[in-house]
Amino acid sequence: MTACVSRMARLLWLVASASLFLQCAAVRTTGQVTFISLEEEIALGKEVSVQAGQILRLVRNQEVSQYFKEMASRIGAASDWSGLAYTIHVVNEPDLNHFSLPGGQIFLFRGLLESAETPDQVAAVIAHEMAHLAARDGTERLALKYGGAMAAQSVVGQNPEIARQIITNLYSKDTILDYPKPAEQEADRKCVKYVWKALYQPRSAVEMLALLRQAEKSHPLLVTLLNRTHPSLSSRYRAVKKEVKMYSAPDETAPETEPFNHIKAILARIPY
Residues 6+ apart with CB under 8 A from 138: 100, 101, 102, 132, 176, 177
* Within a domain: 233: yes
More confident residue, 158 or 239: 239
* Within a domain: 190: yes
Distance (Å) of CA 154 to CA 8, 49, 89 = 45, 14, 22
pLDDT tens digits, residue range 33-82? Answer: 556 788 888 888 888 888 888 899 999 999 999 999 999 999 999 999 99
* Within a domain: 16: yes
More confident residue, 11 or 180: 180
* Within a domain: 1: no
* Within a domain: 119: yes
pLDDT above 70 as % of the chain: 79
* Within a domain: 214: yes
Contact 51, 107 (CB under 8 A): no
Nearest one of 188, 187, 177, 186 to 227, comparing CA atoms: 177
The mean per-residue pLDDT over the stretch 192-208 comes to: 96
* Within a domain: 2: no
| Angle in degrees, 0-180, between the axes of helices 119-135 and 204-218, rounded to the nearest 10 | 100
pTM, to two decimals: 0.85
Q: Domain count of the chain? A: 1
* Within a domain: 272: no
User: How far is residue 222 CA from its own chain's centroid?
Assistant: 19
Distance (Å) of CA 253 to CA 43, 123, 249, 256 = 40, 16, 8, 10
The mean per-residue pLDDT over the stretch 19-31 comes to: 40
Output the pLDDT for position 48: 82
Give the length of the chain: 272
Contact 79, 100 (CB under 8 A): no
Nearest one of 96, 13, 91 to 59, comparing CA atoms: 91
Q: What residues make up the domain containing 189?
A: 7-267
Residues 6+ apart with CB under 8 A from 4: 248
